[in-house]
A and B are shown apart, each in its own frame.
Chain A
Amino acid sequence: EDQVTQSPEALRLQEGESSSLNCSYTVSGLRGLFWYRQDPGKGPEFLFTLYSAGEEKEKERLKATLTKKESFLHITAPKPEDSATYLCAVQDNNQGGKLIFGQGTELSVKP
């Protein structure tokens, strides 16, 4: 059964304190791994897609990496506006277009 586990559930950082969020996954055949940002009461905002192990994508202070078993979202020198819940999802080659989501990591960045 496809499964996605994110850790930690919550992370508190001081402004400028870099860290990483983890997304571990189990799928029979990975089509793609997706990262989203979700602010309270809003829909998820697409950040990155990763398709194969070794791939990396960057956007401002965020960098996503992928291995065969997990993905990391690295946040460099975060700012308070980076506070949000970060969601990871995988798409299985054998499951049509559906995404399997993890429960998310709630990030809080204090000034």
Chain B
Amino acid sequence: DGGITQSPKYLFRKEGQNVTLSCEQNLNHDAMYWYRQDPGQGLRLIYYSQIVNDFQKGDIAEGYSVSREKKESFPLTVTSAQKNPTAFYLCASSKGHGYEQYFGPGTRLTVT
């Protein structure tokens, strides 16, 4: 079964701790993306990668970091510098620019 997996589904952390969200895809897609979704707001782009070993900042990259060492994997680290980390995080992938993006099931992060 081809698709995108994100783990865990729910994640709880204390303030001041870094946390890494996992995203894996077996669709053989070149491009991968991370979005954040908050109540009453549209999805906002955090980081994206169009090819292995390369990534670009999105609209709200501050306080986040990513890596793209393998085509299948695009983990997101939420650092202690992110002021409002509690949110629903969505990972997506696509064949590339101009193609539709397919989303994973999401990770809901709660930081207290």
Contact = CB atoms under 8 A, between A and B. Distances in A.
Interface stretch (A12-20, A66-74, A75-83, A101-109): A101-109
| Size range of the chain B interface in the assembly | 20 to 34
Main secondary structure of the interface of A (DSSP, over half): strand
B74 interface: no
A46 B101 contact: yes
B16 interface: no
A46 B41 CA distance: 19
Interface residues of A, number: 24
B106 A41 contact: yes
B45 A42 contact: no
Interface string A25-68: 00000011010100001111110010000000000000000000
Given A96-B56, A97-B33, A104 B42 contact: yes
B87 to A, nearest CB: 13
10 contacts: A4-B42, A34-B100, A34-B101, A36-B103, A46-B101, A89-B43, A97-B31, A97-B48, A99-B101, A100-B42
Interface of A: 4, 31-32, 34, 36, 41-46, 49, 87, 89, 91, 96-104
Interface of B: 4, 6, 31, 33, 40-45, 48, 50, 56, 58-59, 90, 92, 94, 96-106, 108
